[in-house]
A and B are shown apart, each in its own frame.
Chain A
Amino acid sequence: MKINVVTNILDANNRIANENRAFFDEKKVFVINLMSSPGAGKTSLVEKTIIALRQRLRIGVIEGDIQDSYDAERIAQLDIPVVQINTGGACHLDGNMIKETFPSFDFDNLDLLITENVGNLVCPAEFKIGENAKIMILSTPEGADKPAKYPLMFAESSVLLINKMDLAPYVDFDLEKARHDALAINPKLEIFEISCKAQTGLDKWLDWLTQAIETFRKTAGKG
């Protein structure tokens, strides 16, 4: 006997992610889901973003990167509320893991929640967590062939940060190819070239982020 049961396998996760999102909306907290390969510069970007915006915004961080157990400590040194998620070896964060951190934050006193996903260019792209925007980092030593090889994350993201631009000349990074391929996959992608080390290009990213938060607050009813 054949039975027709068309069901999205990710429905259970999507449902929890949507609940998270409704909760964040109610609390007027803008949430970003930061994804990249291990070592591309996620924690560095989180640090730079906190340092630049902490006077204007109340920021919290979720650390999901199992590659580097010092990440949460790095953020805690900045005196910012941070929760480390132990994914138990899982290759991605999912909606439920995010939900479990809720008791650890005071969301009434938070404007921006930055979630550093597990260092992995594949799996995190498939699991929504309730974010407003997915932000991905590609670092120049990884090479410009990554959009063509791992298209899903490029398709899902709102912003692509090309980090370690200071190293681009030494690693023969083909910036034009990276830009071209990423845009073929996702024409709406915003691309910014940055170096967390040399502190270049970060202004454009920070402008994008503050603008996105402002727009979010208007639409979420906080003026």
Chain B
Amino acid sequence: MHELSLIQSLLTIIEAQAEKEKFTRVNQVALSCGRLSAVEPSALAFAFKTLAQFGICADAELKLTILPMKIHCFTCNREFIDEDADPTSCPHCRGDQVVVTEGWQELQLLELDVD
């Protein structure tokens, strides 16, 4: 639900960049966030389409990279990277002595492709 406010912030950042770097058209916006952050990709895409339609990002493609979560399993004593698993058990041995070590990264703007 808060994807609209995230996209609003994103567009503000891009507009400031456009003024500084003197570009007038954005082709692609590359973003990343952790799998466990509260960002819903389809809601983000929808918010972008809605809010960007009249600005310099009107024709831009949104590219979101989702960073995997990492789980440490105390049963097999290994670190697992798994994109779909339940974060509360080991995707490999199903052991439940686990701890989530990564996957919370906040939404980041990485790169802009501009003209």
Contacts and interface: CB of A to CB of B under 8 A. Distances in A.
Contacts of A1: 23, 113-115
Contacts, number: 99
A6 B113 contact: no
B13 interface: yes
A5 interface: yes
Interface stretch (A40-48, A109-117, A144-152, A192-200): A144-152
B67 interface: no
B53 interface: no
Contacts of A2: 111-114
B2 A127 contact: yes
A207 to B, nearest CB: 26
Interface in B1-31: 1-2, 5-6, 9-10, 12-13, 17, 21, 23, 31
B37 A152 contact: yes
Given A9-B9, A90-B2, A184 B38 contact: no
Contacts of B88: 147-148, 180-181, 184-185
A125 interface: yes
Nearest to A185: B100
22 contacts: A1-B23, A3-B111, A5-B13, A5-B17, A6-B110, A7-B109, A8-B109, A9-B9, A9-B31, A10-B6, A13-B9, A91-B2, A92-B1, A120-B1, A126-B37, A147-B88, A148-B86, A180-B88, A180-B96, A184-B96, A185-B99, A187-B99
A94 B37 CA distance: 17
Contacts of B17: 3, 5
Nearest to A123: B2
A155 B104 CA distance: 8
Interface residues of A, number: 33
B98 interface: yes
A12 interface: yes
Majority DSSP secondary structure for residues of A touching B: mixed
Identify the interface centre among A3, A4, A13, A180: most chain B CB within 10 Å of its CB: A3
Contacts of B106: 8-10, 126
Interface string A165-196: 00000000000000011001101000000000
Given A5-B112, A9-B9, 17 more contacts: A1-B114, A2-B114, A3-B21, A3-B114, A5-B111, A6-B111, A9-B6, A9-B109, A10-B107, A13-B9, A91-B2, A148-B87, A151-B87, A151-B100, A152-B37, A155-B36, A184-B99
A9 B2 contact: no
A122 interface: yes
A185 B85 CA distance: 13
Most chain B CB atoms below 10 A, which of A5, A152, A185: A5
Contacts of B115: 1
Contact of A6 (B23, B100, B104, B108): B108
A20 B85 CA distance: 37
Contacts of A187: 99
